[in-house]
Amino acid sequence: MKPKGAKQPLLRDEALLWITDSDDSLKVARDNLRLGNYHVTAFYLHSAIEKALKAAIIALRRRAPIKTHNLKRLYSEVADRISLTDEQVDFLGELTPASQISRYVDVALGIPRDVYSRRLVTRYLAMAVPILKSIRRALRR
């Protein structure tokens, strides 16, 4: 039994799996940025944030996350527990379509690799990392 007032970890086994998979997706995004696979980088950055938000929903709300790729919608489930700036929330909306555009020619209206540039996904990475850190901090409380 934990002493009264001791902080208990909020991660259940399933949430831990989601956050671990988020870490893996971030690594894959970084690896693909180095390889010049910018559309893959965009996809995995989206995936990393989605998985981290789903971990947060499980850990902080004690329920299964809804089935969506919409990052702003997922964030709305934990917005009272994870503080993001307006710019970061706007970025979630900007990144959400990457889950589709980066993979499907009919959504990209062309070849997905032609949609994303090094400069764009470097900015995506710079925006994604602090969001992921904020989510992790909330999970450690």
Residue-wise pLDDT tens digits, 37-91: 999 999 999 999 999 999 999 999 999 999 999 999 999 999 999 999 999 999 9
* Cα-Cα-Cα-Cα dihedral sign, residues 77, 18, 91, 66: negative
**Which pLDDT does position 13 carry in this prediction?**
85
Alpha-carbon separation of residue 106 from 31, 40, 57, 103 (angstroms): 26, 17, 32, 9
| Mean pLDDT (the chain, rounded) | 91
Q: CB-based contacts of 5: which residues, under 8 Å, 6+ apart?
A: none
Structural domain 13-140, CATH architecture: Up-down Bundle (1.20)
Q: Where are the domains of the chain?
A: 13-140
Element (H, E) at 82: none
Residue-wise pLDDT tens digits, 84-95: 999 999 999 999
What gap in Å lies between CA 90 and CA 63, rounded to an integer? 26
